[in-house]
Every structure is written in C-alpha cells, then in structure tokens.
Structure 1
C-alpha cells in the first residue's frame, strides 16, 4: 500500500506524519493541508473507467477503496441557456458531503482506531455515519441543538451515536474536538482534515469531464466552512497546472445574509475574519458558520480566482427553492443558495454551474 503523504500547517509549516491520528497543527491548533501535488489524467484516458469519483485516481491521495458506495458522477442539467446545475444531492446519503466523507472513512478504515468522531449540522454527520457503517467503524456524531430531526434520524439509522450539544454549531465543534484529543480516536472532521477537500475537488473534475475538457466562466459555490469551494480551488489548480485548462474560472462564494462573516471580511478588504459576526436564524443552516477555521484560505482562493462574494436573504432562499421545485428539482434550503444568488441576472453573459448540494427531503420547504 502506498505510504500516506504528510500533512502540514499552512500557517506555521509544522508537519504531521501521514499515519498519525493527530487532527490539527500541534502548535496553533489550526487545520492541516496535504503535501500532495497530483497530475490529473487527460480526458481521453478516462473512457471506460469506474463510474464513480474514483475514476480520477491519479488526483486522489488514497486508491483502491474499501468503503465506497459508488459516490460521484452526478448529473448536470440546464437551468437556463447560461446556467447549469450539478445534482449533487443524488449521492448515497443525498448530499455532496459524500465526496469528502468517503475519503475520511477510507483513511479511518486503514488506521483502525477505537472510534471515529465527527461534528456536523447534519449532512456531513450523515455522510460520515454512512461510510463508517460501510467500514464497520464505531462512530459518534456531535450536532448542535436544533439540527433537523430528519437528519438526526438518518445519522442514527446508520448506527452512529448522536450527541446533541446544547449550543450552536461552534459549540458542537468544540465538544467534538475535545473528544478527538482522546487516545486512539480518529477525528473525521470535514473542516480540519485535508482529505475531505481532496474528495470534494472531484466535483470540479467531473464538471471538467462532462463539459468536454473545459469549465464555465464562473463556479458558484456555497460557503460556510468552505469545503466545496476549497476543493474546487484544488481541482482548478491541478487541471490548469497540468495544461488541461486554458483559463481558470472565477469562484463566486455565496453566504446567507443572516450569517455572512466571510462576505463581510471581503467587503472590508480583509485577509482574515474581522470582529464578531452577528448570527441570526437562517434556513441555510448548512452554511451558518460564524467563524470558519479556514477563513484565510477561503478568502485567498476567491481573490486569486478573480471571484467575489454574494449574500442571499431568507426570501431569496425560499423563492429559489420553490423555483427549483417547479422545475422538478426538490433541494434543501441550504442547497438552493447558489441558485438564489444568480437566478435574477447577476452573471450577465457569463456561463456558470451551481451545485444543488442536498435533497429537499432532508429538511423540507423553507417557511416564511
């Protein structure tokens, strides 16, 4: 089996061996990146490969999966003559989080810890629980008070233990991190563990293949902890660096106006979060993150791409969800944020793809 690449802290350069259960930088306690620079395969060489995200094996830090559920290769459908939607809710657990969760579970499967822990507002926890079930790994998921009952039911159905934390998303994360410091524990963090980002980047590799070796002018991406956007940035860099793209798309990051710390920092021209972000209730619970640990990386990725930040109101979220439903696409309220941001003409003549990240059955319709 190929040795695992080292991880490193992007802030201070500390390195963590590839086979270590350490989940953060030993000095600053920040998230880690992966010392891994793959070269993607040319388009023509993908013909006949397995019909899942594992077809992009050259770009993945793990190969020959044991816990796969056939994730990836989701449909791309037109919404307008300039905008298409990638139906990433058509995954085994009904959200795009499967892309990263399979990588974390595969890594945990190989490490063989006493238990796996995760924290989530719902979809990531569901995905981790499902793939841990596939790998017969004991799993505990910490969720904030108020998490959708349907998502809790799905997590428990996969056999994971659910711990409801009396607090918000940050509080759930803090409890999970304390648990992660216990011996022989694997922290399946979709924020701190870089393997998750190397799973989500397959979203863009699929787009590139489906569009015949190109990408749209703009990739519109929802941002809470930024795992899909950072994965997209990785994929774009890989494809462009290999000479498989002639130009890089702009990354447009979308936040709910009710919880928009990154959009505010962007408006202020800051490279990091500034001050304390007020948090109001939002239907976009999956991106309601007040202090994303990878904030600096997210802001830099958007800036380097020539992109921007957009915010959407609760009314825009509700209307976008109903609009998609009228087109035959029933998507959860967080998952419609990107369509809400661009459906009224913000793109002009540019082409774009928006991800529909989670199925509507997970949380139902957004209500006024």
Structure 2
C-alpha cells in the first residue's frame, strides 16, 4: 500500500510569524498573503558515508527532506557535474526527466499533494515549472491544471498537454498568470503547486547543492552561480548551505552569485542600491531571451536579497548578446541549453580566481536556438 503519512512540518510566515499545519492546503499566509517558509524541526545530518547504495534519486537525502517514505519519483536528481574550464564546472540539470531543474521541487509538491488528496492541483509557470508539475502529477495520478502566459514556448505547452494536464493560457505577462492561478487556488479542495509560495519546492531544489557536496566528496566550490527570477534555486541553495554548515558537514559557506537578465533585473538593482526589498514602484519590463527569469516582482525578494548578502555573494546581469553568445558557446562544447539556462555561463564563464559551479537548467529543445 502507498505511504500516506501526513507531513509533520509546520508552515511559518517569515514576515509576521503566522503558523499553519503543513497538512493544510492553505497556500499562503492568511494575514499578509505572503509565501510560507517551513519549520521542519531538528533533522539528523546526511552522512556522506551512508549514501552508497541508496536510491539513485534526490530522495537519497532522506534525512534532509521534510517528507518521509516517498512514493512519487521519476528518477530525478543525480545529474552529472562536468568541468568546463579550469575553474568553472557545470551541473547538467537539463538531463532531468522533464528536461529542467524544476523537477527537483515538483516531485516534492506532487508527493505532498498525493498525501493531501485534493480534488485538483493548479500551478502557474512560464513553462518549465508547469511541465514539471504536470509530469509529476501524472505520475501521482492527480488531476492538474497549469496556467501559462500567452507567448509561452509552444514546445513547453505541448509538453504540458502531453502529460495530461489542462492548459490555461492567460493574456498578459507572468504576473497576470500568477494572479489567475491564485484565484483558482482559493477554491476549496484545490492544492496550489506553487514553486514560489510553497516551501516544499525549495526543499526539493536544495538537493542541487547536496548533490554537488556529495560529488565533491563532502566539500563545496568557492561559489555557486544561479539564475534568479523567483529565486527558487537560489533559496534552495541557501537552505542547503545553511544546513550543511550548521551540521558541521562543511567548514565554510560558498558565495551565492545571483544572475539576472539586464532587461529584467529588479533584484540586481535593489542589491546594488543596498536595499533590503524591492521598491514599491516596479521598473518597466523589457523583452528578454531569458524568459524563465523575467520576473518583475518576485514574492520572495526580501529573502533572496538577504540570502545573497549572508553568503558574501553578489548579483550579476547579462545582456541579450551575452545570452546569445553563451548559448552558442555551450553548444559548441556539446551542451544545447535553453536561453535562460545559459545565463550563469554568460556571467561567470571567464572566472579564473575561484572555483564556481553553474547550473545548465533547461534543455535547448524547449526554446530552440536564440536568433
């Protein structure tokens, strides 16, 4: 019989301290309507020597994950770490089952939803998170609706439909799409598989760093570069480095290098202005090839900025020409990666002073070669 143990962690609002049981389908703090964090209580450390022979997926890091006895999996995780230069290595997360790193968080949301048995699951996405949630809901036998903005890559929408999810195309941009999904999420019996608001997603993306730590024999590079829109990979990386440091499994925290497209870089601007949050007035949103990180007002902005500062890291931005050049350069090296997924290589590929890992987050087949 499938494991149906209810989650034991507690949702907590980072803004006002409001708490809710994680067995609830409340998708946001009822007081401020902001995203949840997760209080997992004390967890045993992941013992490096105990990993040999464990399941070959991200569920191998069971001690670090907030759900016990998982049943949903497509074999996600354990992606290769490949040197690109003498200082920069790439983690090939485009080799995930749905061809993007979003599988790391989607599997956690699908497993959580399976235990809560909702009438429906809804998600919103510019493409990759939607395809991942659709695939894992199919694996879990859950009905799923994915909201996407008009103009989303046809290859991504085809993949969402192929997994059996209902597709809702929303006029306007990413924020209009999120608003439509959140309105649907307020209907009773709905589980909102939000890669932004639900912290279980972050506890999935943190396995990205646990895998690097395992691959490097219990150490981490000097810096970890990640593309940042809503910040789900960066915040997962921050979670992992904090846990590993607190448990004495690393002796220093790597710097987090957050990369944004110059055309849509609200967090980079706030960081370099010394701000703790985004200004009330949003900057104009311009078109960018890095569509997956074109987020004008990420709900976790304050947390993202704090995480980068606490790590001793920084924000970098890349131009459209740099994105084009980086995609072609990686392709010439044998890796065909979508335009969002090449942003970090564009930013730090010439690094010579320290060791850096960059994620190749999504397959080039999802968007094609940039014009």
Confirm or deny a common fold (TM above 0.5). Answer: yes
The number of residues matched between the two structures is 365
* 2:214 counterpart of 1:198: no
* 2:321 counterpart of 1:315: yes
TM-score by length of structure 1 reads 0.98
Runs ≥4 residues deviating over 4 A: none
Find 2:27's aligned residue among 23, 27, 43.
23
Distance apart, 1:17 and its partner CA: 1.0
**SS at 1:89 equivalent:** helix
* 2:162 counterpart of 1:157: yes
RMSD after superposition: 0.8
| Cα deviations by residue, 1:39-69 (Å, 9 ceiling, x for unpaired) | 3322111111111101100000112222200
TM-score by length of structure 2 reads 0.97
| Cα deviations by residue, 1:225-284 (Å, 9 ceiling, x for unpaired) | 000000000000111111010111000000000100000101110000023121111010
Q: Which residue of 2 aligns with 1:259?
A: 264
Contact 2:256–2:313 under 8 Å retained in 1: yes
Query: CA separation in 2, counterparts of 1:48 and 1:214?
Result: 20
Q: Which residue of 1 aligns with 2:338?
A: 332
Q: Which residue of 2 aligns with 1:119?
A: 124
Query: CA separation in 2, counterparts of 1:273 and 1:3?
Result: 33
* 2:286 counterpart of 1:270: no
Distance apart, 1:348 and its partner CA: 3.6
Contact 1:203–1:232 under 8 Å retained in 2: yes
Query: CA separation in 2, counterparts of 1:308 and 1:122?
Result: 27
Change in 2 beyond 3 A, CA 1:119/1:3: closer
| Cα deviations by residue, 1:131-166 (Å, 9 ceiling, x for unpaired) | 000011110000001000000000000000000000
Distance apart, 1:200 and its partner CA: 0.1
Q: Which residue of 1 aligns with 2:366?
A: 362
Q: Which residue of 2 aligns with 1:132?
A: 137
Contact 1:72–1:91 under 8 Å retained in 2: yes
| Cα deviations by residue, 1:107-151 (Å, 9 ceiling, x for unpaired) | 001100000000000000000000000011110000001000000
1:232-243 matches, cutoff 5 A: 232-243=237-248
Contact 1:54–1:63 under 8 Å retained in 2: no
